[in-house]
């Protein structure tokens, strides 16, 4: 009978151990994914902003050498990420395909002017910088007009700031929830050992002696759970990189190393604090209240 009870007890302990680790792993995975979003927020923001650009409309009849000279000068500017020359004949063909009509024949000439499309570096994708760039570029007599959507640029910048604030608020809330979930998971695990804790206390064991093995096991669980969470994050990152290669760059080892280190530290600290609090509770509780 006692052998059966021992097997049943060991099975329950093993189940409790696995449940604790899996629960902590999932919470740490959730925190890790949030940390990944925060750490990559700047890269995502830059990606959005660098898709904002403007068009430089050149004078009609400008020579090819003059176009090349302007393009080469632009490529040396700090605000420029990429420049593309748009030939008016090519632009007319694309425009005709979009309209489905040969407007050049109807008008008698190609009304489109040569232009250069400029993609900005993220730091300059704001209304003030664009206004200054426009003034500087228009000093060149070969440039007729600088065209960009000021409202779109302003809207993108405002929305990115709002998203950053919402993300920080959500991060703080999720961290509190995650700590509460891990704390409850560990408390349930310690609850199954409350009689062992009280027995050790009754035979005269010091509180620090009683807490030590539980805390050590809690920290061990936190480390194992952290590595499981890291494995899940790496798997998810690999899948995400296949779908969106421009957003996920595995070359930034320091960034991901910092994220994984944070996950491990969180696993250790939260497990340590929660285990300490749970054991302390059953050390203080009266024997009759254990039931």
**What is the DSSP track for 91-151?**
HHHHHHHHHTS-HHHHHSS--PPPEEEEEEPGGG-SHHHHHHHHHHHTTSTTEEEEE--HH
pTM of the model: 0.58
Residues 162 and 198 in one domain: yes
Query: What residues does 57 pair with on adjacent strands?
Result: 115, 145
Residues 88 and 112 in one domain: yes
Residues 188 and 258 in one domain: yes
Domain end among 114, 147, 180: 147
- Is 91 within 8 Å of 152 (Cβ atoms)? no
Residues 35 and 173 in one domain: yes
Work out the mean pLDDT of the chain and round it to a whole number: 76
Token pair listed for 212: 């030590």
Residues 38 and 168 in one domain: yes
pLDDT of residue 222 exceeding 80, the answer is yes
**pLDDT per position as a tens digit, 60-87:** 878 888 888 888 888 888 888 888 888 8
Residues 126 and 185 in one domain: no
Angstrom distance (rounded) from CA 260 to CA 230: 6
pLDDT for res 227: 92
Q: What domain range is 76 assigned to?
A: 53-147
Angstrom distance (rounded) from CA 150 to CA 5: 75
What backbone phi and psi angles, to 5 degrees, belong to 114?
-65, 145
pLDDT of residue 216 exceeding 80, the answer is yes
**Kind of pairing between the strands at 53-58 and 115-120:** antiparallel
**252 vs 2: which has the higher pLDDT:** 252
Residues 162 and 140 in one domain: no
Residues 200 and 186 in one domain: yes
Report how many domains make up the chain.
Answer: 2
Residues 169 and 263 in one domain: yes
């Amino acid at each position: 009978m006692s052998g059966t009870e021992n097997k049943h007890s060991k099975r329950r302990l093993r189940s409790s151990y696995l449940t604790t680790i899996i629960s902590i792993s999932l919470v740490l995975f959730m925190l890790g994914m949030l940390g990944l979003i925060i750490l990559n927020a700047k890269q995502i923001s830059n990606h959005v902003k660098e898709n904002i650009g403007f068009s430089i409309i050149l004078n009609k009849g400008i020579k090819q050498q003059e176009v090349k000279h302007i393009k080469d000068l632009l490529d040396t500017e700090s605000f420029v990420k990429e420049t593309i020359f748009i030939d008016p004949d090519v632009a007319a063909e694309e425009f005709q395909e979009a309209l489905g009509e040969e407007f050049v024949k109807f008008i008698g000439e190609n009304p489109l002017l040569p232009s250069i499309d400029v993609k900005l570096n993220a730091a300059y994708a704001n209304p003030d910088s664009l206004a200054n760039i426009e003034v500087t570029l228009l000093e060149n007599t070969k440039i007729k007009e600088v065209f960009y959507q000021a409202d779109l640029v302003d809207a993108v910048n405002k929305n990115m700031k709002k998203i950053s604030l919402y993300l920080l608020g959500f991060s703080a809330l999720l961290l509190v929830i995650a700590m509460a979930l891990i704390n409850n998971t560990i408390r349930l695990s310690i609850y199954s050992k409350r009689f062992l804790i009280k027995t050790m206390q009754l035979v005269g064991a010091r509180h620090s002696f009683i807490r030590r093995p539980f805390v050590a096991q809690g920290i061990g669980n936190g480390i194992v759970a952290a590595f499981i969470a890291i494995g899940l994050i790496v798997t998810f990152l690999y899948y995400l990189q296949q779908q969106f290669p421009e957003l996920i760059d595995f070359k930034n080892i320091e960034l991901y190393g910092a994220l994984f280190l944070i996950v491990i530290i969180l696993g250790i600290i939260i497990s340590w604090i929660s285990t300490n609090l749970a054991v302390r509770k059953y050390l203080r509780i009266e024997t009759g209240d254990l039931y």
